[in-house]
């Protein structure tokens, strides 16, 4: 069966001298892996070798989990400009692609997440708020896959938080998927402490765009800890995104 869709390439692997295997995040079908025969030849139906983060209209054949699809067309749009402009921005977008690959299932459609990913890449192209945009995308991803952490109350004792942190007595635990209070933290050995400014950013995610670099780095570290716990492996691109490499 021939299918048409819109897609962003989130992973490529060389398959032979001339062909690639690509993982595509598509609007209607979600993630899928396809072979692009002859894609590395100068004249192909793919406008040249397919690069990670390239996007456009695709045509493919075969669409089930058992057999790999065959990509027959990829009309690549103009690439995002940021890779040539800024390595950090490129690394942040590669981390987002890696997380999409790790946290979504094949043939599980997430059209809203597809839109959020395109918007994230477009905003990166025109804004300096790289890390804040990445964090907001990561929260959209967690929301779409049903794993958004609880930030408005303690998931253990259910105590509601004031919307404004008055001190730094908050802890984040992946196990309970949320911000645990001072009274409960003793019961959760696996947790990280959250500073007052990071807690405030988590209470009001919209405020992230105005947060300072230190706060953003702390929130990103928390998210990497969370993604690592969810998928049982640390994202490979994390060390290129976190400022202190820890
Ligand atoms: Zn509690």
Q: Give the containing element (helix H, strand E) for 13.
A: strand 2-14
Determine the distance separating the centroid of ligand 1 and the alpha carbon of 193, expressed in angstroms: 14
Determine the distance separating the centroid of ligand 1 and the alpha carbon of 114, expressed in angstroms: 35
Determine the distance separating the centroid of ligand 1 and the alpha carbon of 233, expressed in angstroms: 28
Strand order in the sheet with 170-173: 178-180, 170-173, 192-194
Determine the distance separating the centroid of ligand 1 and the alpha carbon of 182, expressed in angstroms: 7
Determine the distance separating the centroid of ligand 1 and the alpha carbon of 85, expressed in angstroms: 45
Determine the distance separating the centroid of ligand 1 and the alpha carbon of 169, expressed in angstroms: 11
- CA geometry: angle 229, 230, 234, nearest 5 deg: 55
User: At 131, is the secondary structure helix, strand, or coil?
Assistant: helix
Q: What is the pLDDT of residue 126?
A: 84
Domain boundaries, the chain: 2-76, 82-144, 170-241
Q: What is the pLDDT of residue 63?
A: 67
Residue holding tokens 């509601």? 160
Determine the distance separating the centroid of ligand 1 and the alpha carbon of 179, expressed in angstroms: 9
* Token output for 57: 């209209």
75-95 confidence digits (pLDDT tens)? 988 777 665 568 899 999 999
Contacts of 63 (CB under 8 A, 6+ apart): 1, 3, 29, 32, 69, 107
Determine the distance separating the centroid of ligand 1 and the alpha carbon of 149, expressed in angstroms: 14
Residue holding tokens 């009309």? 75
Q: What is the pLDDT of residue 128?
A: 84
* Token output for 115: 């839109």
Determine the distance separating the centroid of ligand 1 and the alpha carbon of 189, expressed in angstroms: 14
User: At 71, is the secondary structure helix, strand, or coil?
Assistant: strand
Determine the distance separating the centroid of ligand 1 and the alpha carbon of 16, expressed in angstroms: 55
Determine the distance separating the centroid of ligand 1 and the alpha carbon of 153, expressed in angstroms: 8
Residue by residue, pLDDT tens for the chain (246 residues) are 899 999 999 999 999 999 999 999 999 999 999 999 999 988 888 878 999 999 999 999 986 777 889 999 999 887 776 655 688 999 999 999 999 999 999 999 999 999 999 999 999 988 889 999 999 999 999 999 999 999 999 999 999 988 776 776 799 999 999 999 999 999 999 999 999 999 999 999 999 999 999 999 999 999 999 999 999 999 999 999 997 654
CATH architecture assignment, domain 2-76: Beta Barrel (2.40)
Residues with CB under 5 Å of ion ligand 1 are: 154, 156-157, 181, 184
For residue 84, the 8-state DSSP code is: H
Q: What is the pLDDT of residue 31?
A: 96
């Amino acid at each position: 069966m021939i299918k048409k869709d819109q897609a962003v390439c989130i992973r490529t692997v060389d398959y032979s001298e001339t062909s690639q295997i690509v993982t595509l995040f598509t609007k209607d079908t979600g993630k899928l892996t396809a072979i692009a025969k002859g894609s590395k030849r100068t004249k192909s139906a793919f406008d040249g070798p397919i690069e990670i983060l390239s996007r456009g209209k695709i045509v493919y054949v075969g669409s089930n989990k058992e057999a790999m699809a065959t990509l027959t067309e990829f009309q690549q749009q103009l690439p995002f400009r940021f890779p040539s402009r800024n390595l950090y921005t490129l690394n942040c977008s590669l981390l987002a692609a890696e997380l999409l690959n790790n946290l979504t299932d094949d043939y599980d459609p997430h059209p809203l997440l597809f839109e959020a990913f395109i918007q994230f890449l477009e905003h990166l192209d025109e804004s300096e708020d790289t890390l804040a945009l990445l964090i907001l995308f990561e929260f959209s991803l967690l929301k779409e896959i049903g794993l958004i952490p609880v930030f408005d109350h303690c998931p253990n004792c259910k105590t509601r938080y004031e919307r404004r942190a008055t001190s730094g007595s908050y802890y984040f635990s992946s196990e309970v998927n949320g911000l645990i209070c001072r009274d409960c933290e003793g019961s959760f050995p696996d947790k990280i402490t959250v500073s007052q400014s990071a807690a405030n950013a988590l209470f009001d995610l919209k405020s992230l765009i105005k947060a300072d670099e230190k706060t953003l780095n702390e929130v990103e570290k928390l998210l990497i800890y969370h993604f690592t716990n969810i998928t049982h492996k640390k994202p490979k691109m994390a060390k290129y995104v976190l400022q202190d490499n820890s």
